[in-house]
Amino acid sequence: MQVSFVHREASFVIVDKPSGVIVHRGLANDAEDLLRAVRDATGAWVYPVHRLDRGTSGAVVMALHPDAARSLGRAFEEGRVAKRYFALTRGHPEDGEIDHPIPNKEGGPRVRAVTRIRCLGTSGRYALVEAIPLTGRMHQIRRHLKHVSCPIIGDVKYGKGEHNRYFRTEYGLHRLALHAAELGFDHPDTGERRTFSVPVSGSLLACVEALGLGSPWHAD
């Protein structure tokens, strides 16, 4: 697997995870995963501090020493990491916050979950959406957009098969249309606030542009 590094230094790396790749072994036991690919590319031991769903692409941070792993892990646990996503949805969600409890693990109790949503543009029945999770629950953005009847295109668990098939046929989009575009956190060594961006690319970018929705990372 080719690793796309966005940023690399002594304490951590930021990589652009491809859609369809797991971050590390756990529930799945794929022949390839991002952690081992980063380990092989850096020649160093790598510490995962968070994860993205298999289908989601975009920004992942991995620590390169134990102190950085503890610092970054605490930041994620305490909600001090800013995260920004782009999604392509069926339906046009209203701007605002989705405050709807969901399980934090399969079969677990529902807990509070909040996602801030902004509709960036529409094309027919579809919309390009910015999603900022204010809590970190399992499948939070996917579940929340389904909750407001605007499921993400390509989501085989929470989405709509007819729309997923349409995008595969018409736009060649064979993936979940969800991208982790930005991570912001305090540097584990200096405490300086840093923000790292990962542009949308590949088939998702081509699909967004074909719909006339522009370049999502210029949404501001």
Enumerate the active-site residues. 53
What lies within 8 Å, CB to CB, of 204 at 6+ separation is 19, 57, 88, 173, 175, 177, 179
DSSP code for 76: H
Q: What DSSP line would sit under 83-133, residue for residue? A: EEEEEEEES-PPSEEEE--EESSTTPPEE--EEEEEEEEEETTEEEEEEEE
Whole-angstrom distance, CA of residue 7 vs CA of residue 15: 7
First-to-last alpha carbon distance for the chain, in angstroms, is 33
- Bridge pairing between strands 102-103 and 110-111: antiparallel
Whole-angstrom distance, CA of residue 210 vs CA of residue 204: 10
Q: Which residue has the tokens 């719909």?
A: 211
Beta strands in 41-93 (DSSP E): 47-48, 57-63, 82-90
